[in-house]
Amino acid sequence: MKKLVFVILGLTLFGCKKGAEEDFSIKPVSEKSELVKKAENFFKSISTVKYEAIPLDKIDLGKKLYFDKTFSKNGDISCNSCHNLATFGVDNKVFSLGDSKQPEERNSPSVIYASLHASQFWDGRGKAIGETGNSNSNPVEHGIPSAAVLVKKLNANPEYQAAFKKAFPNDKEPITIANFNNAIEAFERQLLPKSKFDSYLDGDEDALSEQEKKGLSAFIDNACITCHSGVAVGGQLMQKFGLYGDYANLTHSKKTDKGLYNVTKKEGDQFLFKTPSLRNSEKTYPYFHDGSVASLKEAIKIMGKLQLKKDISDADANDMEAFLKTLTADVDSKYKE
């Protein structure tokens, strides 16, 4: 009996000790660094973006339309031709060649993260991402004569008839230019990959190297966050390009583009352009609306002079370039052709 009491007592004590060890094994939450706290004032992780519940049928239709060359006059280009998802949503050309084989007037921006922007196109004339589908009627780009011709092409294809009916089941006439744009928009809304910088903002402070952290600090301290902040790290404002000088004097621009003024004809809109998102800026060269600069470091230094009226040091420019590279993120292969 005594032996039984001791065994029970021993088991009880052992159990208590083990339980106590487990209770106190929880590690305290580490304190955020000052740099992370500072960064959180200006940036948000892609993880904070709330995804819409978009039916898969609509997304699949949008992807098919995005890669289909049928919707150009000569059948030579698709959306992906100028906004190639295999190369981070761009073609890395100064000016893309449209279906007409003529160069476009502005550099083709990336469609990756475009759904986070406040407006579309360099001059901000598109207020919704779906409006970018109107490129089909642009004579230099896709060259389709009219929306009616586009709708006719869709209606002539039994596969698209079935796909539009599945994607827009409540519409009496599913095939419309609005639904065409809506489907492409549904697809492009999926293009929000996570970068190293997002991991850093999500709490993994080791995601960035010391140089990348120095670059983040320099980016903030040099006031680049005035235009490039938020979850998209830009894409929210219309800003004059050349606040402190003629941009053509510093870039390699071959012609002057007055930006939003070309749309509104208002004097105050001269040289206003949408500030681009800096996500994937490492991969989306050449830079600016006219693709006039190929080097990311050079673009950083030019922006310092034109927009901040300061000479950014080589050390800061190198560090900021390292930081901007932490914004590189490729889309899932399932979204590529």
For 88-125, give the DSSP string: TTS---SS-B-TTSPBPSSPPPP-TTGGGSSSBSTT--
Q: Is 172 left (phi over 0), alpha (psi -120 to 50) or beta?
A: alpha
Widest distance between CA atoms in the chain: 101
pLDDT at position 27 is 42
Among candidate residues 188, 208, 231, the one where a domain is terminated: 188
User: Are residue 198 and residue 168 in the same domain, yes or no?
Assistant: no
State the total domains in the chain: 2
**pTM (two decimals):** 0.87
Rounded CA-CA distance 70/72 in Å is: 6
Q: 9 lies in a domain?
A: no
Q: 7 lies in a domain?
A: no
pLDDT at position 52 is 80
Q: Does the bond joining 139 to the residue before it have cis omega, within 30 degrees of 0?
A: no
User: Are residue 222 and residue 241 in the same domain, yes or no?
Assistant: yes
> What φ, ψ does residue 259 adopt, rounded to 5°?
65, -130
pLDDT at position 99 is 79
Among candidate residues 163, 188, 213, the one where a domain is terminated: 188
Q: Is 235 left (phi over 0), alpha (psi -120 to 50) or beta?
A: left
pLDDT at position 85 is 98
DSSP-based three-state secondary structure for 20: helix
As to burial, measured by CB atoms within 10 angstroms (0-12 exposed, 13-18 middle, 19+ buried), residue 151 is: middle
- Residues 281-317: pLDDT tens digits? 999 999 999 999 999 999 999 999 999 999 999 999 9
pLDDT at position 137 is 53
Q: Are 279 and 45 in contact (CB under 8 A)?
A: no
Rounded CA-CA distance 274/259 in Å is: 9
Residue type, 308: L
User: Are residue 139 and residue 218 in the same domain, yes or no?
Assistant: no
Q: Kindly report the length of the chain.
A: 337
How many other CB atoms sit within 10 Å of the CB of residue 19? 10
How many other CB atoms sit within 10 Å of the CB of residue 8? 10
Q: 12 lies in a domain?
A: no
> What φ, ψ does residue 19 adopt, rounded to 5°?
-65, -40
Q: 19 lies in a domain?
A: no
User: Are residue 97 and residue 39 in the same domain, yes or no?
Assistant: no
pLDDT at position 147 is 83
Rounded CA-CA distance 113/115 in Å is: 5
Low-confidence ranges of the chain (pLDDT < 50): 1-28
DSSP-based three-state secondary structure for 239: strand
pLDDT at position 252 is 85
User: Are residue 197 and residue 148 in the same domain, yes or no?
Assistant: no
As to burial, measured by CB atoms within 10 angstroms (0-12 exposed, 13-18 middle, 19+ buried), residue 322 is: buried
Residues 6 or more apart in contact with residue 208 via CB below 8 angstroms: 196, 197, 200, 216, 323, 326
User: Are residue 182 and residue 63 in the same domain, yes or no?
Assistant: yes
Among candidate residues 188, 207, 240, the one where a domain is terminated: 188
pLDDT at position 198 is 98
User: Are residue 163 and residue 213 in the same domain, yes or no?
Assistant: no
User: Are residue 173 and residue 278 in the same domain, yes or no?
Assistant: no
User: Are residue 245 and residue 311 in the same domain, yes or no?
Assistant: yes
As annotated, the binding site includes: 79, 82-83, 224, 227-228, 303
For residue 322, what are the domain limits? Answer: 34-49+193-330
User: Are residue 76 and residue 107 in the same domain, yes or no?
Assistant: yes
In the chain, at which residue ranges do the beta strands (DSSP E only) sit?
A: 238-240, 272-274
As annotated, the binding site for heme c includes: 79, 82-83, 224, 227-228, 303
As to burial, measured by CB atoms within 10 angstroms (0-12 exposed, 13-18 middle, 19+ buried), residue 76 is: middle
User: Are residue 213 and residue 291 in the same domain, yes or no?
Assistant: yes
In CATH, what number is assigned to the domain containing residue 39? Answer: 1.10.760.10
Q: Which two tokens stand for residue 162?
A: 């079935």
User: Are residue 164 and residue 236 in the same domain, yes or no?
Assistant: no
Tell me which residue has tokens 């922006």: 303
Rounded CA-CA distance 162/149 in Å is: 19
How many other CB atoms sit within 10 Å of the CB of residue 48? 11
Which one, of 94, 108, 82, lies nearest residue 293 by Cα? Answer: 94
The DSSP bridge partners found for residue 126 are 120
